[in-house]
């Protein structure tokens, strides 16, 4: 395609036809093949040429029909691509107000509120930007939550630039309660610390993770009302949200709470922790409860060994090395040899594993 666009520059078509041809290539491209189009479109074309192109594209937009009317996403995707090109042509033609009018119209028609918000912010029309963010969130939060989240992020950026920290913190709180995880918790903390209300918010946030009771809007809640609908968690499981509670406890180095929630999970038959989460817990508690950490690492290693493949054996060895290190640090290195002997005897028919375990024993693989 770069060669096609170079040829398009030199061909005998009128400039408006060249532009229209290039745009047509882009609109038909479903595989990212039109490399070189930006270089072509950045060539020196006069405003009159861009204006002629805009008029032609406006006709196409007026006559546009979806190829897949049953699928809203594809229907809007195709129209949005076409309207993007209409807007580009109008702006390059010096018809900025018309371009913005297209953004207003298409936002309500296809849900392209993010584009409208970008254009309004670029034009310095901040009050209108916030108004349309709210309209967009209301229109998309149920069917297209990703768009609603993006719009809220734009509002958060606007308020951060204004140093409106209470409102920023309130948005961060809604973000956390809608999607509780370590990252949203830490984002909330940063915002609340600017207002010196973190301890109260932290207490309510942890209570929410334990019970599912959202504190937003209730008596004593110190953050302002954002005007958005009260957040509902996107998580399918019910409280307590043990994975988040453990992540936060690890981050805050609250060892006893890590163990409390880890044990809580282990007693629930409907919950499962993966290898990496178990390893995270063991690493976090090893300095205070080495025996518990060693037991976790042994369980991980033995589970991997039971998979009976060389890759799993090598991964198991990494966790057994952690057992060795922790035993040494806790003054219990004498426990390693009998455990290794028992593990070797149990798996003596797994030749490749025995070689790996021999290396861990410190003995030569081949004896004289």
152-179 pLDDT, tens digit each:
999 999 999 999 999 999 999 999 999 9
Q: How confident is the model at residue 37 (pLDDT cuts 50, 70, 90)?
A: confident
Whole-number average pLDDT of the chain = 91
Give me 207's structure tokens.
């209570």
Q: Are 190 and 167 in contact (CB under 8 A)?
A: no
Select from 255, 261, 317 the least CA-distant residue to 290: 255
Domain spans of the chain, in order of start: 2-165, 299-368
Q: How confident is the model at residue 348 (pLDDT cuts 50, 70, 90)?
A: very high
Give me 308's structure tokens.
């009976």
Sign of CA dihedral 97, 99, 104, 109: positive
| Cα 242 from chain centroid (whole Å) | 20
Sign of CA dihedral 320, 326, 329, 330: negative
220-273 pLDDT, tens digit each:
899 999 999 887 777 777 889 999 999 999 999 999 999 999 999 988 766 667
Q: Are 139 and 193 in contact (CB under 8 A)?
A: no
Place of tokens 């009771």: 213
Per mean pLDDT, which range of 24-28, 69-73, 81-85, 117-121 is the poorest? Answer: 69-73
Q: Are 358 and 366 in contact (CB under 8 A)?
A: no
Q: Are 47 and 25 in contact (CB under 8 A)?
A: no
CATH number for the region 2-165 comes to 1.25.40
| Per-position DSSP letters for 235-289, written without gaps between them | -SSPSP-HHHHHHHHHHTT-HHHHHHHHHHHHT-TT----HHHHHHHHHHHTTT-
Contacts for 91 with CB less than 8 Å, ≥ 6 apart: 99
Torsions phi, psi for 62 (to 5 deg): -65, -30
Query: What is the pTM assigned to this prediction?
Result: 0.83
> Could you tell me the CA-to-CA distances from 150 to 81, 140, 162, 165 in Å, in that order?
19, 11, 19, 19
Select from 294, 278, 281, 293 the least CA-distant residue to 253: 281
Contacts for 75 with CB less than 8 Å, ≥ 6 apart: 66, 68, 69, 110
Statement: residue 289 has pLDDT above 60: yes
Statement: residue 367 has pLDDT above 60: no
Select from 203, 184, 209, 189 the least CA-distant residue to 264: 209
Give me 154's structure tokens.
């734009």
40-73 pLDDT, tens digit each:
888 888 999 999 999 999 999 999 887 666 555 5
Q: Distance (Å, rounded) from C-alpha 261 to C-alpha 269? A: 14
Rounded to 5°, the CA angle 238-236-297 comes to 75
> Could you tell me the CA-to-CA distances from 266 to 1, 20, 149, 263, 285 in Å, in that order?
57, 63, 34, 5, 16
Q: Which residues in the chain belong to E strands, given as ranges?
A: none
Question: How many CB atoms are closer than 10 A to CB 307?
Answer: 12
């Amino acid at each position: 395609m770069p060669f096609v666009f170079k040829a398009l520059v030199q061909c005998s078509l009128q400039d408006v036809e060249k532009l229209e041809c290039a745009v047509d290539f882009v609109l038909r491209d479903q595989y990212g093949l039109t490399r070189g189009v930006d270089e072509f479109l950045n060539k020196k074309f006069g405003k009159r040429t861009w204006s002629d192109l805009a008029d032609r594209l406006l006709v196409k937009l007026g006559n546009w029909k979806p190829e897949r009317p049953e699928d809203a996403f594809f229907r809007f995707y195709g129209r949005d691509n076409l309207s993007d090109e209409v807007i580009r042509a109008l702006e390059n033609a010096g018809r900025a107000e018309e371009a913005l009018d297209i953004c207003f119209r298409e936002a309500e028609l296809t849900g392209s509120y993010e584009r409208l918000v970008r254009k309004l912010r670029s034009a310095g029309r901040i009050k209108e930007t916030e108004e349309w963010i709210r309209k967009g969130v209301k229109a998309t939060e149920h069917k297209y939550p990703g768009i609603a989240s993006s719009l809220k992020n734009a509002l958060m950026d606007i308020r951060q630039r204004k140093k409106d920290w209470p409102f920023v913190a309130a948005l961060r709180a809604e973000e956390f309660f809608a999607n509780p995880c370590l990252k949203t918790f830490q984002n909330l903390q940063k915002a609340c610390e600017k207002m010196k209300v973190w301890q109260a918010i932290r207490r309510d946030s942890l209570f929410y993770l334990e019970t599912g009771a959202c504190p937003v809007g209730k008596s004593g809640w110190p953050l302002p009302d954002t005007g958005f609908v009260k957040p509902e968690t996107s998580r399918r499981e019910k409280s307590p949200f043990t994975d988040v509670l453990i992540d936060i406890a690890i981050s805050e180095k609250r060892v006893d709470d890590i163990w409390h929630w880890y044990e809580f999970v282990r007693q629930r038959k409907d919950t499962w922790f993966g290898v990496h989460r178990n390893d995270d817990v063991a690493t976090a508690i090893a300095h205070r409860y080495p025996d518990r950490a060693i037991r976790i690492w042994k369980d991980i290693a033995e589970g991997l060994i039971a998979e009976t493949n060389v890759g799993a054996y090598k991964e198991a060895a990494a966790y057994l090395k952690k057992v060795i290190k922790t035993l040494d640090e806790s003054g219990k290195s004498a426990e390693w040899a009998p455990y290794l002997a028992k593990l070797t005897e149990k798996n003596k028919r797994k030749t490749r594993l025995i070689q790996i375990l021999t290396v861990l024993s410190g003995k030569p693989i081949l004896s004289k």
